[in-house]
Structure 1
Amino acid sequence: AGAALLDGRGEILWRCAEPLGERTNNEAEYLALILLLEEADRRGASVDIRGDSQLVVNQVTGRWKIKEPRLALLASDAVALLRKTGSTLTWVPRDRNALADDLSNRVFYGPAENRQAFAPAGRTFDPERLEKMTETLFIAHGTEDYAVDLLHGACTCPAFQRSRRCKHLDAAQKHFAK
């Protein structure tokens, strides 16, 4: 998934390219939108979003029905974040959205070092905030507390529920996995 946040002059304020594993192109488009909206929310910003997926834009704005249950869950998250941030979403042709397209292509086709260079800001989690319950089970303490399960590679946070990856699990795997 690739997304970028630009200022009024077109300067890049934030960009993200995140590998999503086994996902459809439509799921990747939804997850890119959600990543962008989460960043806007983190900044307390209302943004005008231009997306190149007609399916996502038309489903999120209510013009098209959502038939796929997995997409309905993602659409629900996107709509909630759009409302929370007061952001807008409009469709643009892919050739007018080259930066986001380039970011997603880098993470999909590029080497691992490219992927890390475009990881989302705020993606790391301080391992000191992981409370060890057992050898493989941790509690990630923060604004909300989440259970992190190293044995099964899972976390109870919303980010993991959406994309099967999160900063809590990444921190636990990096610092505590054998």
Structure 2
Amino acid sequence: MVTGCLRHFDLIDFLVNNSGVARYAPFLELTVQDWDQMMNVNLKGPFLCMQAVLPTMLRQNSGHIINISSIRGLETIPTASIYCATKFGLNGLSSALAKEVAKHGICITAICPGGIRTHLGGTTPEDKPEDLLAPDDVARAALFALEASATGVLTQLTVVPRRSLV
């Protein structure tokens, strides 16, 4: 993927890691397959993508990586133990890597949205369809983080539905 991009473009300005899978179930009903799938998609995938773009970003002394995490990387709920572990892990990875590469002009932002109206959003009992974010809300948060990096860096950004605060 990165090699193909570099054939057409000289630079990599940014990477957005935006994939996720979840299985909500009581802990004793979860399987090793559930663990592997969520770890592979939610944590290993971003790890591999970041490793692929960082050599180019380091050479150019610039770049921005946005990891779409989850509110579940900040707050836990029952029946989401593995999912929460992957998102807490992604937030930790983002934070540590941000400190490692900041001196090279590279920004790392973890965006932690609440439930989103997608195939994954609305899958917990707490999610009410009218309280879910639109995918555009998360896209605007990513754009905001990218634009802010000209003068500063947003290391973590939480975006929740307005109604969830009342």
Relative to the length of structure 1, the TM-score reads: 0.28
The structure carrying a bigger helix percent of its residues is: 2
